[in-house]
Amino acid sequence: MPVDTGLSDALLIKLFHLDWSDKKIAHEFHITVQAVSKRRTKLGLLRRPVSKKVNEWLRHRWPDMVSTKGSDSHHNDHSAQRLREFLRLQLGDKTLSDRQVTLVQAWTEERRKKDDVLCYDPDQGWSYRPREKRDGNLVIDWPRGLNFPDQRFREALELPSDSDK
Question: Is 2 contained in some domain?
Answer: no
Does 60 lie in the same domain as 24? no
Q: Is the pTM of this model over 0.85?
A: no
Which residues, 6 or more positions from 73, have their beta carbon under 8 angstroms from its beta carbon? Answer: 66, 67
Count of structural domains, the chain? 2
Residue whose C-alpha is closest to residue 46's, from 23, 16, 83, 14: 16
- Calculate what percentage of the chain has a pLDDT beyond 70: 89
Strand ranges (E), the chain: 116-121, 125-130
Residue 163 pLDDT > 70:
no
Question: Is 4 contained in some domain?
Answer: no
Does 116 lie in the same domain as 68? yes
Domain of residue 20, residue span: 9-42
pLDDT tens digit string along 97-125? 899 999 999 999 999 999 999 998 888 88
Banded pLDDT at 44 (limits 50, 70, 90): confident
